[in-house]
Amino acid sequence: MICRFNLAIEPAALPRARHALRGKFVSAYYPKKVEQKFNEYTKAIKGAFNALSVVERENISEIVKIVPTGLKIALSVVFRLCPASSLSKKKKNALYGSEHNKKPDLDNLLKMIIDRMSGVFYKDDNVIHEIHARKEYAEVPGIEITLEYKKE
């Protein structure tokens, strides 16, 4: 089964956790700004799941519940990022559709998506066995996601 959807949010990378010494213990945390981004991603992903047809939602839920050990997921993601606002309109138009080779790093963008989809489209991200991802320039930012569910 293949599931495709788009998230109409600006791609953001998962930053490193901050650490604080609290008494004799060290605790890891994310700043409030990052927590807000987590909530934005989670809301968009749950909205995309709810926007699927009833049949698709039921199929995904059934696959995830019934086949937890034999499930494999192939993930394909396209991150669409806007060019810098300081560029001229001519340069921006030339960049649209081409590969994005600046920050944020692709692996950090993926971490944010994979962690937020856990619990919605799959129970745990250990079922992902294949990933195809790319970044490209676009006029409108967003994330295009394709999940291919495979049973062993």
What's the rounded Cα separation, in Å, for the pair 68 and 21? 38
Mean pLDDT calculated for residue range 123-145:
93
The pair of structure tokens assigned to 64 is: 């995830």
Instruction: State how far the Cα of 150 lies from the Cα of 75, in Å rounded to an integer.
Output: 11
| Mean confidence (pLDDT) of the chain | 90
Task: Please list, residue by residue across 95-104, b when 16 or more beta carbons sit within 10 angstroms of its beta carbon and e when fewer do.
Answer: beeeebeeeb
Is there a contact between 73 and 129 (Cβ–Cβ < 8 Å)?
A: yes
Q: Which of 85, 115, 98 is nearest to 12 (CA)?
A: 115
Listing from the earlier edge strand, what are the strands of the sheet with 142-151?
A: 2-7, 142-151, 71-81, 128-137
- pLDDT given for residue 60 in this prediction: 87
CA distances from 4 to 1, 108, 115, 120, 127 (A): 10, 21, 18, 14, 18
Residue type for position 134:
R
Write the pLDDT tens digit of every residue in 70-109. 788 999 999 999 998 898 999 888 888 889 988 899 999 9
pLDDT tens-digit series, residues 32-45: 988 899 999 999 99
More confident residue, 63 or 18: 18
* Residue 97 φ/ψ region, left for φ over 0, alpha for ψ in the -120 to 50 degree band, beta for the rest: left
Give the separation between CA 60 and CA 55, rounded to whole angstroms: 9
What pLDDT, in 10s, does the model give residues 115-133? 899 888 988 888 899 999 9
Domains and CATH numbers, the chain: 2-151 (3.30.1330.70)
What was the pLDDT predicted at 25? 92
